[in-house]
A and B are shown apart, each in its own frame.
Chain A
């Protein structure tokens, strides 16, 4: 891909990351990975493989017990990190625009200053006409779009997504996958995308980290060099099926151990 410099320092580097919960369950053990700036990486694996835990460690919401997390490109954790949860996680009492405004509001930016950015973020997810709607007046897919707009309004260098489209129907999900890729291509934020769908991970990512459970660990690191935008031609290509089978095989091997 153009603009890809293999020698550039990665945005994020994980070495020997481990996490054990108070109840003795080993969520993660010996995680080594590095993620390049502007990359799109998926973490795929069964429930309980610690992929959400890893995402939370990257976000700084929880601390790892062992190992180090470093930010070679920037030196420190970016001040702005976008986070999208499985549910849209909107404030039900606030209009769509106020939900998107939240990250800026918490930084002390006035509405007057923030308004163009909020409207722009809503525009980018195709919800410019719904700025005044309350979450319950929106469909599940639209709520998720508001959630993405909220995550992107600060123009973060890093976007973390925790099974964001898992609760949506397949059509909505496919549309959001494509829209997410378009946003990513336009803005080039680094994306770490947690999913339990092999197909989704292969379709979206440049790289899939396949994870196994008990303890949570990385089973395989699969590069997908297909160019973007991918669209349905990739989805229907033999190459796509081949990579899905590869991810699937890695998961099977992990489960067998």
Chain B
């Protein structure tokens, strides 16, 4: 038995939110025109679009920088988080010794560590500092989710593996990691968004002249009171966040749809 949305239902799921968005933009455009709101307070969508087209080159360069930092930080967070969680699962002492520090890393606001990291890495290498900061933010959800997931393997299945004389490696690869997959994917969905936030926040902290990412475009546009450009950069950031979220959701669906409850679509 497989459950699929029918085509019209799927189309509606895309068309309805898109329609709401268009309606919202139309109302916005109308409001700005009717009340003659100045550009530096609230630019109309058409003005934002104009600015987007004008500054397309520099915006795309910045988007690429932010994207690069976000994706690298995210991938390193996945490798580091899953890797450390595996280490924890193999040795309770290592977990006991290190987990509190992972928590410290998580609860310390990234904004407060940013200046330190920037000094250590050097202002001539800001992108690397951004990468470290984004990684710190993105790392913990994957670590904690994977740790939980590796522990959640069915106890009877564990006994069965033991009965058949499975090695530690076999228990890890054949039982623990597959059991943990839904947890890891849930952690990745959180981390993907956090990596973007980390990259942007870190760039704000890095301050003037040092960054090239979208955050810096926003700061720069703000300083010049070029609000349409600010909005253009802001929309790009939102778009990027949405893209990351949907990309990871799609991956989750693909990987889990045949077997995990969370990914089963039900006809209602």
In the complex, which residues 219-268 of chain B have their Cβ closer than 8 Å to any Cβ of chain A? 258-261, 264
| Cβ–Cβ contact A106 & B165, under 8 A | yes
| Cβ–Cβ contact A107 & B178, under 8 A | no
| Cβ–Cβ contact B160 & A93, under 8 A | no
Residues in B with CB closer than 8 Å to A59 are 163
> In the assembled complex, how far is the CB of residue B160 from the closest CB belonging to chain A, in whole angstroms?
6
Q: Which residue of A lies closest to B2 (CB)?
A: A137
> In the assembled complex, how far is the CB of residue B170 from the closest CB belonging to chain A, in whole angstroms?
6
| Cβ–Cβ contact A106 & B170, under 8 A | yes
| Cβ–Cβ contact B163 & A83, under 8 A | yes
Residues in A with CB closer than 8 Å to B166 are 106
The count of chain A contact residues (Cβ–Cβ below 8 Å) is 22
| Cβ–Cβ contact A83 & B259, under 8 A | no
| Cβ–Cβ contact A61 & B162, under 8 A | yes
| Cβ–Cβ contact B160 & A83, under 8 A | yes
| Cβ–Cβ contact B157 & A93, under 8 A | no
Known A87-B156, A94-B178, A102-B174; further 5 A-B contacts with Cβ < 8 A: A56-B159, A85-B160, A105-B174, A106-B166, A136-B261
| Cβ–Cβ contact A106 & B259, under 8 A | no
What are 26 A-B contacts with C-beta separation under 8 Å? A56-B159, A60-B163, A61-B162, A83-B159, A83-B163, A85-B156, A85-B160, A89-B154, A89-B157, A91-B157, A91-B178, A93-B181, A93-B258, A93-B259, A102-B174, A103-B164, A105-B174, A106-B161, A106-B164, A106-B166, A107-B164, A107-B165, A134-B259, A135-B259, A136-B264, A137-B1
A78–B238 CA distance with the chains assembled, in angstroms? 62
Q: Which residue, B163, B174, B260, B261, has most C-beta atoms of chain A within 10 A?
A: B163
> In the assembled complex, how far is the CB of residue B206 from the closest CB belonging to chain A, in whole angstroms?
43
A91–B161 CA distance with the chains assembled, in angstroms? 11
| Cβ–Cβ contact B159 & A61, under 8 A | yes
| Cβ–Cβ contact A91 & B163, under 8 A | no
Residues in B with CB closer than 8 Å to A134 are 258-259
A246–B13 CA distance with the chains assembled, in angstroms? 65
Q: What are the nearest 4 A-B pairs in CB distance?
A: A89-B156, A106-B164, A92-B259, A93-B178
Residues in A with CB closer than 8 Å to B160 are 83, 85, 89, 102
Residues in B with CB closer than 8 Å to A85 are 156, 160
A46–B207 CA distance with the chains assembled, in angstroms? 72
> In the assembled complex, how far is the CB of residue B1 from the closest CB belonging to chain A, in whole angstroms?
6
Q: Which residue of B lies closest to A62 (CB)?
A: B159
**Known contacts A91-B175, A93-B181, A93-B259; A102 and B156 CB within 8 A of each other:** no
A101–B161 CA distance with the chains assembled, in angstroms? 13
Q: Which residue, A81, A87, A91, A134, has most C-beta atoms of chain B within 10 A?
A: A91
Residues in B with CB closer than 8 Å to A93 are 178, 181, 258-260
A38–B109 CA distance with the chains assembled, in angstroms? 67
Interface string of A69-103 (1 = CB under 8 A from B): 00000000000010101010101111000000011
Interface string of B175-209 (1 = CB under 8 A from A): 10010010000000000000000000000000000
